[in-house]
Structure 1
């Protein structure tokens, strides 16, 4: 199964999101928009550029009937588990966590920050239960507020 390779970034001219191919224009990051225009190129803030993970969240709305696409830099709320092990053995307790989707070069994969269940691969198996609740570049301070609300 393949996933579309696409990016998004905030346009420098009007601050709106643009989706498409990541390119350079006059040695600056830009996105060539094939989705809403005829391949027009828009300069973007490099701090806002994120790649599509190929996954969608659990929200089903009129705007996102198949769930919202999850991009690098998105803030997601998700079911997690933390280790409550004792000398008797392993035990995991479920919790609601909030983190940011990031790319990890060392492992060549997308992952989410603030995971208690580091090392468990089940997160990506259960991503359809996660929910995009914001974006780190638009709301950098909301991550701390939402983390404390999830606790």
Structure 2
């Protein structure tokens, strides 16, 4: 069974919040933290370096001389996580997490999406 974990992009403070729990100050407004758009679920997979792969991560993969950059997304109709980009088949054993869509959107600029 895969581990259920999340991380969250805090847009107000422009930082990623990792971990299995969050501590809130009494009476502190937290609505900016609860944007569903910024919540990313762990896929249960790790990249070639052992780094956990989350929804919203940007993956790099190279097969022979073909480089591929893709974004990890949840595919509701298929009930699975998919890597959206030029490469239609991504293996976590040769793929590397190089960033995420919140902190490194420039890594996907000008790239074709499948």
Q: TM-score range by the shorter chain?
A: 0.7 to 0.9
- TM-score, length basis structure 1: 0.58
The answer to which structure, 1 or 2, has the higher relative contact order (CA under 8 A, 6+ apart) is 2
| Runs of 4+ residues over 4 Å off in structure 1 | none
Contact preservation (8 Å) 1:52, 1:69: yes
2:39 aligned residue:
49
1:143 aligned residue:
108
Query: Shift in Å at residue 58 of structure 1?
Result: 1.2
CA–CA distance in structure 2, aligned partners of residues 15 and 131 of structure 1 = 23
Q: Which runs of 5+ in 2 are unaligned?
A: 25-29
Q: How does 1:2-151 map to 2 (within 5 A)?
A: 2-12=1-11, 14-20=13-19, 32-33=21-22, 40-41=23-24, 43-59=33-49, 67-79=50-62, 95-117=66-88, 123=90, 126-144=91-109, 147=111
- TM-score, length basis structure 2: 0.74
The count of corresponding residues between Structure 1 and Structure 2 is 105
CA–CA distance in structure 2, aligned partners of residues 95 and 12 of structure 1 = 34
The structure number with the bigger radius of gyration is 1
Query: Shift in Å at residue 131 of structure 1?
Result: 0.3
Structure-2 change in CA distance of 1:138 and 1:106 (3 Å): same
Q: Which runs of 5+ in 1 are unaligned?
A: 22-31, 34-39, 60-66, 81-92
